[in-house]
Amino acid sequence: MRDLRLGVIGLGVRGELANLAHRPAAGSRVVACCDLDPKMPADAQQRFGPDVIVTQDHRELLNAGLDGVLVLTPDHTHEPIVLDFLSHEVPVFVEKPLAITTLGCDRILAAARTSGTRLYVGHNMRHLPVVKTMRRLIVAGVIGQVKAIWCRHFVGHGGDFYFKDWHADRRKTTGLLLQKGAHDLDVIHWLAGGYSRLVTGMGGLVVYGDIQSRRDHTGERMTDWLAPDLNWPPHRQRDLNPVVDVEDLSMMQMRLDNGVLASYQQCHFTPDYWRNYTIIGSEGRMENFGDADDATVKVWNRRSDYSPDADEVIHVPASSGSHGGADPRLIDEFLDFVRHGGTTITSPVAAREAVAAGYAATRSLRSGSRPVAVAPPDPALVTYFETGQL
């Protein structure tokens, strides 16, 4: 079996996925890289060998004979880069979110169908062991039929991760309810078995908006300035991005197409970092404690006063690899998909639906919390992707 020839667009923080895909003589090899960072050529050669092609313009790689490409660039660049590679029939892995608008997602889905080129979206949380455990229990009927899902997302490192670079600029993200929330919205949809069709949002820039210290971090990566021990409480943050116009506290309510009601809350100035899902069914309740590392899923399905021991406790041990072991599984699935096509645990349609829900909720949030309808995608596109990309 020859190695797949892979290209990587963007060697920033999520560039670690490229290391997982680089498996010389074992099935895949990174042969080309693109990044605007002037330090990139030396970095790429150290990581992938002296023969790796390096460029600052992804268009130079469109006809480079690649078997697949990983698009790991800032969110607002996903759409044009992905469209370029799809039009040249190069299979694409694009980091979530698929795009920063619903229309952008729909353009990408349509282009993938028109060209017949394989499209994969990096929603790694579908491979997270604790999420897969909850999904398995739901499918098995342990809590009956799902009726409601609540997700609380405590983003304890938000100031360092999301307010010192492009993430803080709504022109490049739409907002963190979409950018960061796309993961959880996709999980909510997956666990509920449906997609949001009516949403409302509420939130504001309630802490970081009061910080006037600004600095242009161009040429730096988040790891260059991360100093968690120095930046607590949150108002001690310094050197925020020159543009800060996204919300640091936001929440949304959703009515799904199958009648499930859901809510999502996101805060970027908590002391701890984790996410908690509560799933309520017609015959019980389920909740996770911990997510990426050692985690526990608890199930209550007998009438009683509250019991922290629950009726069933499932320990989910930590897995090796980044993001609780989800990233290696994500790359394994993508590489298999490039070779064989078919259906995958991740879903381009579901990725679009996560963006659509976050996009609509952000519009609601910024317009007095008025309800916003979420239009479904073209049924022909849904059928195309659900039957498997060949």
Q: Tell me the per-residue pLDDT of 183-205, one tens digit each, with 9 for 90 and over.
A: 999 999 999 999 999 999 999 99
Helix (H, G, I), strand (E, B) or coil at 11: coil
pLDDT on residue 171: 98
Give the integer Cα–Cα distance in Å for 301 and 295: 20
**Left (φ > 0), alpha (ψ -120 to 50) or beta: where does 89 sit?**
left
Q: Locate tokens 């892995």: which residue? A: 93
H or E stretch including 148? strand 146-154
Neighbours of 175 (CB within 10 A): 24
Tell me which of 307 and 143 has the higher pLDDT. Answer: 143
The pLDDT confidence band at residue 154, using thresholds 50, 70 and 90, is very high
Give the integer Cα–Cα distance in Å for 121 and 87: 17
Q: Which residues pair with 122 in a beta bridge?
A: 95
Vertex 304: Cα angle to 301 and 305 (nearest 5):
125
Q: Is the pLDDT of residue 115 over 80?
A: yes
Q: How far is CA 60 from CA 6, 33, 54, 64, in A?
A: 14, 10, 10, 7
Q: Which two tokens stand for residue 86?
A: 């799809």
DSSP state, residue 299: E
Evaluate whether 149 touches 288 at the Cβ level (below 8 Å).
Answer: no
Q: Is the pLDDT of residue 218 over 90?
A: no
Strands 53-55 and 68-71, by their bridges, are unpaired
Q: Is the pLDDT of residue 120 over 90?
A: yes
pLDDT on residue 242: 97
Give the integer Cα–Cα distance in Å for 28 and 13: 21
Q: Which two tokens stand for residue 209?
A: 């908006």
Evaluate whether 21 touches 29 at the Cβ level (below 8 Å).
Answer: no
Q: Which two tokens stand for residue 153?
A: 């997302």
pLDDT digit string, tens, across residues 173-188: 999 999 999 999 999 9
Residue 131's nearest CA partner among 192, 217, 207 is 192
Residue 239's nearest CA partner among 276, 267, 217, 214 is 214
Strands 249-256 and 196-204, by their bridges, are antiparallel
Q: How far is CA 282 from CA 138, 245, 296, in A?
A: 11, 41, 22
b/e string for 229-245 if b means 16 or more Cβ within 10 A? eebeebeebeebbeebe
Q: Which residues pair with 196 in a beta bridge?
A: 256
Residue 251's nearest CA partner among 168, 149, 152 is 152
H or E stretch including 45? helix 40-48
Q: Is the pLDDT of residue 41 over 90?
A: no
The pLDDT confidence band at residue 380, using thresholds 50, 70 and 90, is very high
Helix (H, G, I), strand (E, B) or coil at 78: helix
pLDDT on residue 103: 98
Residues in the chain: 390
Give the integer Cα–Cα distance in Å for 50 and 24: 13
pLDDT on residue 203: 98
The pLDDT confidence band at residue 322, using thresholds 50, 70 and 90, is confident
Evaluate whether 268 touches 248 at the Cβ level (below 8 Å).
Answer: yes
Evaluate whether 107 touches 247 at the Cβ level (below 8 Å).
Answer: no
pLDDT on residue 319: 83
Residue 226's nearest CA partner among 72, 235, 217, 11 is 217
| CATH of range 126-326; options 2.60.40.650, 3.40.50.720, 3.30.360.10, 3.30.1060.10 | 3.30.360.10
pLDDT on residue 227: 80
pLDDT on residue 238: 93
